[in-house]
Structure 1
């Protein structure tokens, strides 16, 4: 079992992603245990992410790689959501030098009525090298 992926920020904010697992043994769905920590709050869930048969452009590694490729900026908000919305990312670029990465966790399992708990933490990354390093590290971690 490998060490988890950890994104840390000032003030003790952390996003932790555990090693991907194939719960059904067929490669179609992978899960990751994930946690958020901020200001005394801890939230954790298990997110269903696309497996190895998903089209590449829909995967989390492809999403973060696209952010790094567009490091000079974009308009609006870019989003990525896990299969059953347990993990969601929303990313904004300030068109100067910073990216705000919002990470939202929700209770595991489908929640189409939005009645389950959720927790959100925002991380601010430098739009060049820091964003590129984050994307490369998370992509490598999830593809192992």
Structure 2
């Protein structure tokens, strides 16, 4: 989940909060980006490739707090592995979680949500 977009210097730098929740997992970290580092374009590309692709498609934030690896399966789903790490030097941690998303309508909806999040932060 993406939330709390802020522009600390009123320029292209955009900080936002990423939260991952799942069975026995709750993690959140602030991600620093330049205008979102084209995360919206990454999800748009995944949605457009609903018929699949070879290998993995990977995206990484500017400072590496967030990394997403997408793999298409022949079942018509995309497995998203989301890697999240802290930005605090005293308390370093990293976690990841995997989510399956239907390659058609669910991926389109996710892509739209990400695009709307970054459009609202401009």
TM surpasses 0.5: yes
Q: Among residues 23, 27, 42, which one is paired with 1:63 in the alignment?
A: 42
1:17 is matched with 2
Instruction: Determine whether 1:75 maps to 2:51.
Output: no
The 5 A counterparts of 1:1-144 are: 16-26=1-11, 28-51=12-35, 59-108=38-87, 116-144=92-120
Gaps of 5+ in 2: none
Q: TM-score, normalised by structure 1?
A: 0.76
* Unaligned runs of at least 5 residues, structure 1: 1-15, 53-57, 111-115
Runs of 4+ in 1 over 6 A off after TM superposition: none
How many aligned positions are there? 118
With the length of structure 2 as denominator, give the TM-score of the two structures.
0.89
Structure with the bigger percentage of strand: 2
Q: Deviations over 1:14-48 (max 9, x none)?
A: xx21132111112x210111111122221111001
Name the CA distance, whole Å, in 1 between partners of 2:17 and 2:65. Answer: 10
CA distance in 2, matches of 1:130, 1:41: 23
Q: Give the 3-state SS of the residue equivalent to 1:83 in structure 2.
A: coil
CA RMSD of aligned residues (A): 1.7
